[in-house]
Amino acid sequence: MKGTMFLKRIGGRSIMALILVSVLLALGACIYAPASPTTAAAPGVSIVSPINGASLPAGDVNVTVSVSNFNVVDKQGQANIAGQGHIHYFLDVVAPTTAGVPAVPASGTWAHVSALTNTFSNVEPGTHSISVELVNNDHTPLTPPVVANITIGVTPAPVAVAPTLSITSPANGASLPAGNIPVTVAVNDFSVVDKQGQADVPGEGHIHYFLDVAAPTTAGVPAVPTSGTWAHVATTTYTFNNVGKGSHKIAVELVNNDHTPLVPPIVANISINVTSTGDGGGYGGSIQY
């Protein structure tokens, strides 16, 4: 019995030893197994803006792209380095993709830049295709070619509407008592803003009011008379004070933020007749606010 138990114990230990060795060998195989080769992610390009099918006004069209797994560098004309290069932008041109041949069209509008944005200038109304292509430093296509395409519609630019200005009160030829004369105007297609002295912005500005002074209209020169009664305000009403008896002329003019006339000038004029002295009694040449 003792001999039998001893053999069983020895046999059990041997089995355990064999199992342990097998486990260690398996772990070693896992640890020292050669790594599988990894495949580099393919470069990609997409057009972020404008979107496919976009409708845009005629003029400049800005194109923005997104690039992945590719370094956009400014090494045009230098030796090729895998994974880097620049971008070709094409307008109404099929992107050339012949391997080893520079992606340069024989004609048409295109650009080669090291930037994620490019602007096509003065794009006319109609349907247009835009293509972008990742290329090597020597302008040749990648292998395989990496290209993105969209189609856009360009509509005619809206026709600018000229501002208009009219004096709604007093009426032309009105007879009024001497004293304060309120003037009201109507303005269309022009924003009257209080930005006097600031940089000009197309379509906005303020109003100059003139009493018995011809509105100055020289382009680029502030519409400021050398003498006489006038005012520069950002409102469509203004009151001339203490206007005396007699015939008077009222002029109003739309001006830029820097007080210069619009081009062409926008001016309205009326004549009035002040028939009595009222309680005003005359006026002097001055700037009124």
Task: Domains for the chain: give ranges and CATH numbers.
Answer: 44-155 (2.60.40.10), 164-276 (2.60.40.10)
Model confidence pTM above 0.95: no
Please tell me the predicted confidence (pLDDT) of residue 39: 74
Buried b (16+ CB within 10 A) or exposed e, 114-135: eeeebebeebeeeebebbbbbb
Q: How far is 208 from 252, CA to CA, in rounded Å? A: 6
Please tell me the predicted confidence (pLDDT) of residue 41: 93
Q: Give the tens place of pLDDT for each residue, 166-223.
A: 999 999 999 999 999 999 999 999 999 999 999 999 999 999 999 999 999 999 999 9
Q: What percent of the chain has pLDDT over 70?
A: 82
Instruction: Say if residue 279's pLDDT is above 60.
Output: no
Q: How far is 234 from 211, CA to CA, in rounded Å? A: 17
Q: How far is 63 from 103, CA to CA, in rounded Å? A: 19
Place 10 in a pLDDT band, splitting at 50, 70 and 90: very low
On whether the CB atoms of residues 172 and 252 are closer than 8 A, the answer is no
Please tell me the predicted confidence (pLDDT) of residue 13: 53
For the chain, the helix, strand and coil percentages under 3-state DSSP, each to the nearest 5: 10, 45, 45
H or E element: which one contains 214? none
Pairing of strands 44-49, 59-68: antiparallel
Q: Give the tens place of pLDDT for each residue, 13-43.
A: 555 544 554 544 455 544 544 556 667 899 9
Please tell me the predicted confidence (pLDDT) of residue 160: 81
Please tell me the predicted confidence (pLDDT) of residue 278: 52
What SS3 class is residue 7? helix
Q: Which of 34-38, 83-87, 123-127, 236-240 has the lowest mean pLDDT?
A: 34-38
Instruction: Say if residue 56's pLDDT is above 50.
Output: yes
Please tell me the predicted confidence (pLDDT) of residue 245: 96
